[in-house]
Structure 1
Amino acid sequence: MSSVQFATLYAGRLLLGISNGFYLTYSATYLGEIAPTHLRGSAVGLVTFQTSFGALIGVLVDNYTTKYQSRTSYLIPLGVMFFVPVFLSIGLIFLPESPRHYIRLGSDVKAEHALRTLRGIKDHSQLMAEVAAIREAWMLENAHSENIRLVDAFRGTNLKRTLLSLCCSIGQTASGVIFFSSFSIYFYAEAGVKNEFVWVMMSLAIALTGNMGAFFVMRLIERRVLLSICSIVNALIMFAIAGVYTRLSTGSYTAAQVLVAMGTLFTWVYGIGQGPVLWALTVELPSQRLRSKTVGLATGCNYIFAWVATYCSPYFINPTAMNWGPKYCYIWGASNLVLGMWALRVIPDVKGKSLEQITGSMIGQPEKNADDTVAASG
């Protein structure tokens, strides 16, 4: 904000990218480790709500600062972004550490205190049962290796869990949401949609209702089923957009209406199913000892694929290049179809299972869940 030098602006952007990478990795991991079993998927899925709400605020501020012809046009949007990290930094002071982190450090007493604070459990026997279940899973995973190394994520039973987590994270880009979020305003403008900023804001606002609905839907529908259904629906939406623009001209009023309607429906379906489920699975599937490393690796791989999609998209849709325009959605329709079929056939059933149960099922151990005891009496 203080400089107009190109190198300084890039340095600032680099710092923002690093902080965002840490935030997405550890916020999702933290939510996954502190939430009770029946709320874990819904809680982690709220990461999608965070990004959608932030995007809505960003577009809203950008829309009303475009009238300024000075540096104010971008200084105001950048200044607004200070509020969130300041608020989070203060709030984090009052949050306890994850009980699973304390187990990793060998401090059962602190883990018990963290559980009491997070869950409001007062019965000492219930607390001890949950701490014991977490410790047992931790010891089981450390039976073959005491040191935690990233290479362990690609060995033995961890290999399957790591690959599933990586694929779920990359699925965020495969859904086409990166394309829509990055190029929706330009996309609408090229398609002849008037007041494109307003339509994008309306689309994001409607998507937020899907994000909020996901909190309840994920408690009712199995993860892979919900992901498969939403992916297939969004594949049909993408094919519909591309099909309309194959038959009609880019400047057609009817085609523009279809684009806005289908684009809005796409973001809503993504918000209620694909985004929350993919985030939840990315966090739930890795082993306890390698979770933060695996989630970080998965998020990084998704960033690479997102960069590739962002880099290639202008060449497909720009009139001076390949000039596909909205017909580019054929590619994203196909990727959504593949994602839906893959989810139904490959993703394991983790709904209603604690992180320790998931670990047990992955390595062929009997399932145990202290959460069941807590939930039954709570």
Structure 2
Amino acid sequence: MTGAHSNDAVVSAQSSLCLVWLFTFSLSVGPMGWTIPAEVSSTRLRSKTICLARNVYYLTLLWANILEPYMVNPTSWNWRGYTGFFWCGWAALTLAWAFFRLTETKDGTFEELDLMFAAGIPTRQFAAYHVDAYAEDLAVKDRVGDHGDGAKNKETEA
């Protein structure tokens, strides 16, 4: 009978940790999955980007919810706590993707983002550029060059 009580304690502890994780995730980075597609897409493609992002999210969630029971089920794959390493690997891949591919939108308006997309500037370098949305031609300048510290403007290099 002692084993049943200890098993109940482990199940209760795991359930409590899952609830703490869900609460923390929902109050911190969880909502970013809703805001990032709306903030970083071009204005013309915003609705399509949001729709595509939501569909990919739901398909990934479906895939994860199918795999997870097999991972923790003692009569199936029985990965137990090693399941965390699998999800840690996916999180590391996602972090690497976000670091290299996610658009920097700091101090940029939607119009400026659209002009930088049109100019073909790599998304990782958006923060380093300044856009004059009201200029006659597409004036996309390196922010460093605008401060007069000797760097060339990107428009003069072309």
TM over 0.5: yes
Alpha-carbon contact 2:37-2:46 (below 8 Å) kept? no
SS across alignment from 1:311: helix
Shift of 1:287: 2.1
Q: Which residue of 2 aligns with 1:340?
A: 95
Match of 2:11 among 174, 192, 195: 192
Cα displacement string for residues 144-195 of structure 1 (whole angstroms, at most 9, x for unaligned residues): xxxxxxxxxxxxxxxxxxxxxxxxxxxxxxxxxxxxxxxxxxxx96943269
Match of 1:368 among 124, 133, 138: 133
Q: Matches of 2:55 and 2:49 in 1, distance apart?
A: 10
Q: Which residue of 2 aligns with 1:264?
A: 20
Q: Which residue of 2 aligns with 1:63?
A: none
Q: Which residue of 1 aligns with 2:34?
A: 279
What does 1:1-378 align with in structure 2 at a 5 Å threshold?
191-193=10-12, 196=15, 199=16, 260=17, 264=20, 267-268=23-24, 271-272=27-28, 274-364=29-119, 366-368=131-133
For residues 299 and 263 of structure 1, do their structure 2 counterparts lie closer, same or farther at Cα, with a shift above 3 Å needed? same
Whichever residue aligns with residue 133 of structure 2, its letter is K
Shift of 1:333: 0.8
Q: Matches of 1:190 and 1:324 in 2, distance apart?
A: 20
Q: Which residue of 2 aligns with 1:162?
A: none
Shift of 1:348: 2.2
Shift of 1:269: 5.1
Quick one: higher RCO (CA 8 Å, sep 6+), 1 or 2? 1
Q: Matches of 1:195 and 1:335 in 2, distance apart?
A: 21
Alpha-carbon contact 1:361-1:367 (below 8 Å) kept? no
Shift of 1:342: 2.1
TM-score, structure 1 normalization? 0.28
SS across alignment from 1:303: helix
Shift of 1:310: 0.7
Whichever residue aligns with residue 336 of structure 1, its letter is A
Gaps of 5+ in 1: 1-187, 200-259, 370-378
TM-score, structure 2 normalization? 0.61
For residues 298 and 368 of structure 1, do their structure 2 counterparts lie closer, same or farther at Cα, with a shift above 3 Å needed? same
Q: Matches of 2:34 and 2:107 in 1, distance apart?
A: 16
Percent pairwise identity:
23
SS across alignment from 1:358: helix
Cα displacement string for residues 344-371 of structure 1 (whole angstroms, at most 9, x for unaligned residues): 22222102322212111111293439xx
For residues 321 and 194 of structure 1, do their structure 2 counterparts lie closer, same or farther at Cα, with a shift above 3 Å needed? same
RMSD across aligned positions (CA): 3.1
Gaps of 5+ in 2: 1-6, 121-130, 135-158
Whichever residue aligns with residue 346 of structure 1, its letter is R
Shift of 1:270: 6.0
Alpha-carbon contact 1:360-1:367 (below 8 Å) kept? no
SS across alignment from 1:289: coil
**Matched pairs, number:** 118
For residues 288 and 328 of structure 1, do their structure 2 counterparts lie closer, same or farther at Cα, with a shift above 3 Å needed? same
